[in-house]
Structure 1
Amino acid sequence: MKKPFLFAVLLALAGPAAAQKLTAFHPGAVWPDNHGTHLNAHGAGVLFDKGRYYLFGEHKIAGLTGNRAQVGVHCYSSRDLYNWRDEGIALAVAPAGSGSEIEQGCVLERPKVVFNKKTGQYVMWFHLELKGRGYAAARTAVAVSGKATGPYRYVRSYRPGAGQWPLGFQEAWKQPLPGEKDLKWWTPDWYRAVAEGLFVRRDFAQGQMARDMTIFVDDDGKAYHVSASEDNLTLHLAELTTDYQDFTGRWNTIAPAGHNEAPALCKRGGKYYLLTSGCTGWAPNAARSFVASSIWGPWQALGNPAVGPDADSTFHSQSTAILPVAGRPDAFLFMADRWVPKNPIDGRYIWLPLTFEDGRPRLRWADTWTLGVFDQPRPAATQ
């Protein structure tokens, strides 16, 4: 009787070390962490820092529908992108009734963390909706930490661009045209009015809306905030200050009235590539892609980057980030979520290799794949 008992004790003590090591990605499958628990980091972003990847995402609660934050932002770390160690809650929401902008019950989405070399601080941005106000606040918020894993200290939230016009905004557009508010939506005249500042003027004093968002750091160290604005009709791109915690006031619009959200941005061969989704709530749709020679535009639409079966739903997922793979030049990993609104904690992760063909981004489904695909010959970055 002693040997079976001893084996059981040793097995129990083994704990996380007994978890099976992963050697590949399995998009859409349960993705266990070092404890064997499905990763709880939705709408995520990844930071590579000092030889390790850090995954930050929305922590969901079992049995709770909707998108109200009850815990905060969960962090995991990895050296190979397949196997993730639970690092705990990087940013905790404040207790209910505290009056904090990020108190329990707020909406806290799509956290993205970048490292600022000048300050030595890790800076987290996320989309914030104030408790009890639905999606009316449309704010973006920032928190900072001296460690990648946190804890992060909440700083403040913003409506970007208050009192500031976008680049190239003509003087004639600063005054509303007679009857423009009565224009029928989705008509040529309405599209023209949106492009000429219909909603920019509306939000000029209080600041522009900021919902689904991402952060991009360019080769020169400048950082940019990209978000769905104007009631999710138009994307806004805004330059951050040198500490990455505020806005310089320099910003521009992308695809006015294009109805894009879920932005994800990368740079390849001196060009900027932007992937988005349409706006269909929790239901997936066909992704969109854009390219520009300057981050300020103009941006050219390239169509749906996904090809093959289920391309019209982006493989039943929605983009959240594009990750440059460390040590592998010109290798990018597309990160997306397969949302489960009735049980958000069961949301699955769709990570796929992002390739380029004739200067266009391409996504193809794979049940299983490894980083080895980036070692195969690929079209040159200049194509």
Structure 2
Amino acid sequence: MTQQYIRPGQVWLDTKGERIHAHGGSVLTVDGVHYWYGENKEFSTPGSGIWHWGVRCYSSTDLVNWDDRGVIIPPDEDDESSPLHPSQGLDRPHIIFNAQTGKFVCWVKVMTKGSVQRSTVLTADSILGPYEIQRTWLRPLDMSAGDFDLVVDPHDGKGYYYFERVHSEMICADLTSDYTDVTGYYSTHFPQPQPPFVREAPAHLQRGGLHYLLTSGTTGYYPNPSESAVARSYHGPFEVLGDLHPSDESRTSFHSQISSVFRHPGKKDLYIAIADRWLPRYLDHGDRARQAFIEHFAPGRDGDEPMEEFAYVDTSIADYVWLPIRFDGDRPVVEWREEWSPDEYEDA
């Protein structure tokens, strides 16, 4: 059945009627077709020991109806030491195209036991693969690299890598010409003493000569207030603009976390904040859960003290919150909509 609207926070099914699994995802347009890819969480039920089942991809021409194109980076079921083993904490794949090499380059963050976070880099000749591993267990700039975004300058093709230096600050690092490593040149932004104030989940967008970074706080799967910042270059300095979702009284970014921003190439000024609602059942507990969370992360509190758990963590039922970004002057704003369509926007 063909759908007409994007309905944020509701279960999103593909054209076969199956739940879409492209979590922590992004959208890349190739030859007029949109490809939405992300973490495949179909088997990541509580107690399964399965964090992911590879990277899955879907294709669409309208951003509403999605065809399942399968697992484009499969899990390595046999080698427990592989970063692609289902038990490894593979997160947030990002794919960019290198016009110089003709390769699609995919980076993934892999979190292992002890919260050590490192990167794996793969390349392919097609967006749909097959992908070959080029680097494993990479520590960019000898840092523990967490949530990230990859950016290609549309004019000169230079690549940039924004990542959270775990529980510390945000880094912008230049990529090598083949996009599979960093050059060593980098800048630092938004230093913070501890979670939940440290910024993570960076999502970059460029508009009108300005560079924006949208980030979240570090609160695990629990949603928190997002934040936007603006600069005139990739390396900043960035000016913090405040909460991206100012109309959200719950202060939870509409109970979601942004993973990337998609600029629609066929529409005028349509930027879409692509976000995950990791804990749909968190909404059942309302302000009581949020207050417990705030108290747990209050400055001076021992971070090792157990937190009262309200959310039932089952990422196999995580949903998506896709919303258009409106610009109030040069400030990006995301407002709630029960349903919307990219067709509402003027063609470019």
In structure 2, the CA distance between the partners of 1:291 and 1:68, relative to structure 1 (3 Å rule), is farther
TM-score (norm 2): 0.84
**Residue in structure 1 matched with residue 292 of structure 2 by the alignment:** none
After TM superposition, the structure 1 stretch with the greater mean CA deviation from structure 2, 318-327 or 366-375, is: 366-375
Aligned equivalents of 1:213 and 1:91: distance in 2? 19
Does residue 301 in structure 1 map to residue 240 in structure 2?
yes
In structure 2, the CA distance between the partners of 1:90 and 1:147, relative to structure 1 (3 Å rule), is same
**Residue in structure 1 matched with residue 286 of structure 2 by the alignment:** none
User: What does 1:72-151 correspond to in 2, within 5 Å?
Assistant: 72-97=54-79, 99-130=81-112, 133-136=113-116, 138-151=117-130
Q: Which runs of 5+ in 1 are unaligned?
A: 1-19, 162-206, 377-383
Aligned equivalents of 2:236 and 2:189: distance in 1? 8
**Residue in structure 1 matched with residue 160 of structure 2 by the alignment:** 224
CA shift, 1:311, in A, is 5.6
**Residue in structure 1 matched with residue 178 of structure 2 by the alignment:** 243
Aligned equivalents of 1:48 and 1:339: distance in 2? 25
What is the SS of the residue equivalent to 1:306?
Answer: coil
Retained in 1: the 8 A contact 2:168–2:191? yes
**Residue in structure 2 matched with residue 375 of structure 1 by the alignment:** 346
> What do residues 48-82 of structure 1 show as CA deviations (whole Å, max 9, x unaligned)?
11111111111113462388534211111111110
**Residue in structure 1 matched with residue 265 of structure 2 by the alignment:** 326
After TM superposition, the structure 1 stretch with the greater mean CA deviation from structure 2, 333-342 or 33-42, is: 333-342
**Residue in structure 1 matched with residue 323 of structure 2 by the alignment:** 352
User: What does 1:1-383 correspond to in 2, within 5 Å?
Assistant: 20-62=1-43, 64-65=45-46, 68-97=50-79, 99-130=81-112, 133-136=113-116, 138-157=117-136, 158-161=138-141, 207-219=142-154, 220-229=156-165, 231-257=166-192, 259-310=198-249, 312-340=251-279, 342-375=313-346
After TM superposition, the structure 1 stretch with the greater mean CA deviation from structure 2, 217-226 or 98-107, is: 98-107
Identity %, equivalent residues: 36
Retained in 2: the 8 A contact 1:320–1:336? yes
What is the SS of the residue equivalent to 1:69?
Answer: coil
Aligned equivalents of 1:63 and 1:114: distance in 2? 26
What is the SS of the residue equivalent to 1:297?
Answer: coil
Aligned equivalents of 2:91 and 2:110: distance in 1? 7
Aligned equivalents of 1:244 and 1:146: distance in 2? 14
Query: Which structure has the bigger radius of gyration?
Result: 1
Q: Which structure has more strand as a fraction of its residues?
A: 2
Aligned equivalents of 1:80 and 1:126: distance in 2? 27
TM-score (norm 1): 0.77
In structure 2, the CA distance between the partners of 1:134 and 1:39, relative to structure 1 (3 Å rule), is farther
**Residue in structure 1 matched with residue 285 of structure 2 by the alignment:** none
What is the SS of the residue equivalent to 2:62?
Answer: coil
Q: Which structure has more helix as a fraction of its residues?
A: 1
Aligned equivalents of 2:50 and 2:143: distance in 1? 23
Q: Which runs of 5+ in 2 are unaligned?
A: 280-311
What is the SS of the residue equivalent to 1:345?
Answer: helix
CA shift, 1:149, in A, is 0.9
Calculate the aligned-residue CA RMSD, in Å.
1.7
AA at the equivalent of 1:270: G
CA shift, 1:247, in A, is 1.0
AA at the equivalent of 2:110: L
CA shift, 1:150, in A, is 1.3
In structure 2, the CA distance between the partners of 1:115 and 1:311, relative to structure 1 (3 Å rule), is farther
Number of aligned positions between the proteins: 308
Retained in 2: the 8 A contact 1:69–1:93? no
Retained in 1: the 8 A contact 2:43–2:52? no
